[in-house]
Amino acid sequence: MTLYQTIFEVIDMRSFSNLWYWIAVAVVWSSASHWVLGVPFDLVLRARRNGEQALADLEDLARINVNRILYITQVSGIWIIGFNCFFMTMLFTLAIFYDFEFAQAVLLLAFPLSLVALLSVSTAQQIREDSGTGERLIKRLNRHRLYTQIIGMFSIFVTSMWGMYQNLYTGPFGG
């Protein structure tokens, strides 16, 4: 057996039947909904409950991350969009036209995350325009988290349906 065969036997490239893929999906969406614009959501809850110092910490951290996101967008936003479009097109082509399961798995994870990234830029712009502080900032972060969770739930549903279809269609031996 060659090294190439050994690697592909150990790392199952049939992603939808691989436990590690589903662990990665869970971790990615859990992290995406916990870190709202780079702010941990427990800080948002603490600011709502305790006020004062926790709210000041939330406002500072949100301001830092909003400025960081918008700076990156202004400096290299076009390049990021270009590379993202290239990457998504490549994944889409491999996934649909070449029926490459690993590309399907990555596409079903990466495309919704790119939507969350666009949502983050939009929310950051809204926070800067409103000079988001206090209760208004908390509401914006809550809304952003809700939209992220909706995208995540829809993504997990579509991914699990497609994964079950692939596992039933290809069977345990790949076709």
**Per-residue confidence band for 141, with pLDDT thresholds at 50, 70 and 90:** very high
Query: Is residue 108 a part of any domain in this protein?
Result: yes
| Over residues 154-164, mean pLDDT | 95
Number of folded domains that form the chain: 1
**Per-residue confidence band for 168, with pLDDT thresholds at 50, 70 and 90:** confident
Domain of 66 in residue numbering reads as 52-164
Residue 38, CA distances (Å) to 5, 43, 53, 112 in order: 40, 11, 19, 18
Query: Is residue 61 a part of any domain in this protein?
Result: yes
